[in-house]
Amino acid sequence: MALDVGRLFREHHQALYRYLVAFGGDEATAKDAVQFAFLRMLERPPEDGSPRAWLYRVATNAVVEWTRSEGHRRRLAQDRGYPPALGDPPEEASRRAEVNDARDRLQRVLSRLEERDRTLLLMREEGFTHREMAEAVGTTTGSVGTLLARALKKAGAAMAEEMQ
């Protein structure tokens, strides 16, 4: 049975984008990763499992890979003596400054978590089933509940630290 990628896009692109912004905090990268995941689905659709979990896994992996390579490019440029890139344009800087403190705090807490913990918590927030979460992070369905409980405990400890 062929996937209806258009329907999947309409149903999931906004939630996937929100998840990626929460996961990585960069709106441009999140938009690119959503586009990348759906293009990848058109080129090489998943053979089995949940298409939604597959999309989240592909997009999350893209964000992680791009973030790592961007950091590598910056370090390489600095090592070679290139000046740092200019900051955001004033309009972008103003808009970013208006983001509320709660979101910033949550971002800091999420960034302290391991990738798997962050992924599970955000997927839980988006309403994924344990089966879909297990597929996305490469574990068994039975272990998702335990992993989520541990992730919540770690997030709570990180939030308590952040509040001090």
Q: Are residues 100 and 41 in the same domain?
A: no
Q: Supply the DSSP string of 133-164, one letter for each residue.
A: HHHHHTS-HHHHHHHHHHHHHHHHHHHHHHH-
Asked whether the predicted pLDDT for residue 94 surpasses 80, the reply is: no
Q: Cα 116 from chain centroid?
A: 10
Q: How far is 58 from 62, CA to CA, in rounded Å?
A: 6
CA atoms within 13 A on the CB side of 17: 11
Q: Which of 39-48, 67-76, 146-155 has the highest mean pLDDT?
A: 146-155
How many domains, the chain? 2
Q: Are residues 98 and 68 in the same domain?
A: no
Decide which of 69, 85, 101 is a domain's last residue: 85
Q: Are residues 98 and 119 in the same domain?
A: yes
Q: Are residues 56 and 112 in the same domain?
A: no
Q: Are residues 32 and 74 in the same domain?
A: yes
The torsion region of residue 25 among left (phi > 0), alpha (psi -120 to 50) and beta comes to left
> Max alpha carbon distance in the chain (Å)?
54
Q: Are residues 151 and 123 in the same domain?
A: yes
Decide which of 50, 85, 120 is a domain's last residue: 85
Instruction: Using alpha carbons, list the distances in angstroms from residue 131 to 108, 116, 124, 134, 141.
Output: 28, 15, 11, 5, 5
**pLDDT at 95 (0 to 100):** 46
**pLDDT at 103 (0 to 100):** 72
Q: Are residues 94 and 144 in the same domain?
A: yes
152: domain range? 89-164
Q: How far is 149 from 160, CA to CA, in rounded Å?
A: 17
For helices 5-24 and 101-112, what crossing angle results, to 10°?
90
Q: Are residues 76 and 97 in the same domain?
A: no
Decide which of 52, 69, 85 is a domain's last residue: 85
* Residue 10 token pair: 């309409």
Residues sharing a CB contact under 8 Å with residue 76, sequence separation 6 or more, in sequence order: none
Q: Are residues 1 and 78 in the same domain?
A: yes
CATH code of the domain covering residue 106: 1.10.10
Grouping H, G, I as helix, E, B as strand and the rest as coil, residue 118 is helix
Q: Are residues 96 and 54 in the same domain?
A: no
Average pLDDT over residues 88-92: 53
Q: Are residues 80 and 101 in the same domain?
A: no
Please tell me the pTM assigned to this model: 0.59
Average pLDDT of the chain? 81
CATH code of the domain covering residue 9: 1.10.1740
